[in-house]
Amino acid sequence: MSHLILHIGCHKTGTSSLQSSLLKNKPKLAQYGWQFVTLDNFGNASLFINSVLKKEGIERTLSNNFEKVLKENQQKNLIISGEHFSLLGSEDETLIKKIEALCSTYFNKTTIVIYLRRQDKLALSLKQQAAKGNILGQMVSSQLCGHSEQPLPELTDAMKSYLDFNQNVRLWSSYFGRESMCVRLFEKEQLIDGDICADFSDTLSLPFKLESLRVNEGVTRLFSLCSHLLIRSKFDPLLINNVRAKIKNDPSYSKDKIELAKGDAVSFYQSFKKDNEALFDWLGLEERFSESFDEYPETSNYTLTQSELVLLLESIAACSQTNSSITENDINQIRDCALTLETIDLTKASLLMSIALRFRPNGKLIRQKLATYKKLLMLS
């Protein structure tokens, strides 16, 4: 009997580690009659799901390669791992229906594997993932989380839908059958050996235990803050990359992690608690998410300090001087950075405004402000 294991996520549940381990063990899996499918060099098959941010919302489609891979499978059994499958909710029901039809056409049995992470933890981590991009809406994490000034994403309709585990798991099970759903909670105490690789191989009865690998570590607090600011301001991607690299190489660069205020975490989770309980009862799961929020401090650290703001603006100034692809929006942002800095450090504000003038020599406000700065500096 042929068997397809379709691991659909969720995001930020150790998927990169699991995929890397599966990829590393691809030859060994083949010896036992299992083919592992990857669409990149890291073991990820998320590109089977195309997600594009448009004015009217997020549009998702299924790649034609999905059927091709199922049809051309060289082994009796197949493993596919792609967290973008977990993006599919009620608005994508036709895609889930199509996926089930294809799976049942080529395989006698399909197991849908999904790891669920408590929503506050998942959202916090996914928002940090969005900070790794450099173009607004290009990455799935950016589409869902945006780049606001808060550590947690706004609960937009898209975000609520994605985090509605009750709705989404039931939707997948309505097509594949509840007996085909393997739902696990991504909590260290509830994972076998406290690790997703061991948990996956044991729960799915793979012929050997997958070794644990650590990949895709989170970003630091300052990286996240600066990156989100630059992305939502629509700076040129090359400039964003250069500024982030300059900040990271600065000796004063802080390595501390993002800390979410306990009250904000509790409030965010409350939006999903009731539906979580309904899902776990429906599945007959004894396990539950931990309701301890002691890992969070009383206050968040998600605000740029004055010294960090100066470091960011200095980096923008330095990178702007060597950036040949600077845009009109970049010039506006450099000008506005100077305006922000004028009450903090007039010398640096004058430097920034001089750079803005170099790229926009006829800018009236820029010329006026720069003249004012020079006068004030001469008097000081």
Fold annotation for 3-118+154-203 = Rossmann fold (3.40.50)
Looking at residues 283-297, what average pLDDT do you find? 95
Indicate the pLDDT class of residue 324, thresholds 50, 70 and 90. low
Which backbone phi and psi does 110 adopt, to 5 degrees?
-130, 130
pLDDT at 318: 79
Domains 3-118+154-203 and 221-257+302-379 share a fold: no
Domain ranges of the chain: 3-118+154-203, 221-257+302-379
Distance between CA 218 and CA 285 in Å, rounded? 30
Cis preceding-peptide flag for 337 (omega within 30 of 0): no
User: Comparing C-alpha atoms, which of 266, 64, 236, 101 is closest to residue 176?
Assistant: 101
Distance of CA 337 to the CA centre of its chain: 27
pLDDT higher than 90, residue 352: no
Q: What CA–CA distances, in Å, run from 319 to 6, 254, 313?
A: 44, 20, 10
Report the pLDDT value the prediction gives residue 325, as an integer from 0 to 100.
67
- For every residue of 11-73, DSSP letters joined together read TTSSHHHHHHHHHHTHHHHHHTTEEEE-SSTTS--GGGEEEEEETTEEEEEE-THHHHHHHT-
Express each pLDDT in 56-111 by its tens digit. Answer: 889 999 999 999 999 988 778 999 999 999 999 999 999 999 999 999 999 999 99
User: What's the pLDDT at 337?
Assistant: 83
Question: How far apart, in whole angstroms, are the C-alpha atoms of residue 286 and residue 347?
Answer: 62
pLDDT of residue 294: 96
Most confident among 192-206, 216-230, 238-252 (mean pLDDT): 192-206
Q: Where does residue 9 fall: left (phi above 0), alpha (psi -120 to 50 degrees), or beta otherwise?
A: left
Question: What's the pLDDT at 136?
Answer: 92
The b-or-e profile of 121-146 (16+ CB within 10 A means b, else e) is: bbbbbbbbbbbbbbebbebbbbbbbb
What is the structure's pLDDT at 351?
Answer: 83
Mean pLDDT calculated for residue range 41-69: 94
**Rounded to an integer, what distance in angstroms lies between the CA atom of residue 239 and that of residue 177?**
49
Which pLDDT score is estimated for 308? 84
Q: What is the mean pLDDT of residues 112-129?
A: 97
pLDDT band at 139 (very low <50, low <70, confident <90, very high): very high
Q: What is the mean pLDDT of residues 295-319?
A: 86
Which of 50-59, 309-318, 367-376 is predicted least confidently?
309-318
pLDDT band for position 334 (50/70/90)? Answer: confident
In terms of CATH architecture, what is 221-257+302-379? Answer: Alpha Horseshoe (1.25)
Question: For 181-185, 321-325, 331-335, 353-357, which range has the lowest pLDDT when averaged over its residues?
Answer: 321-325
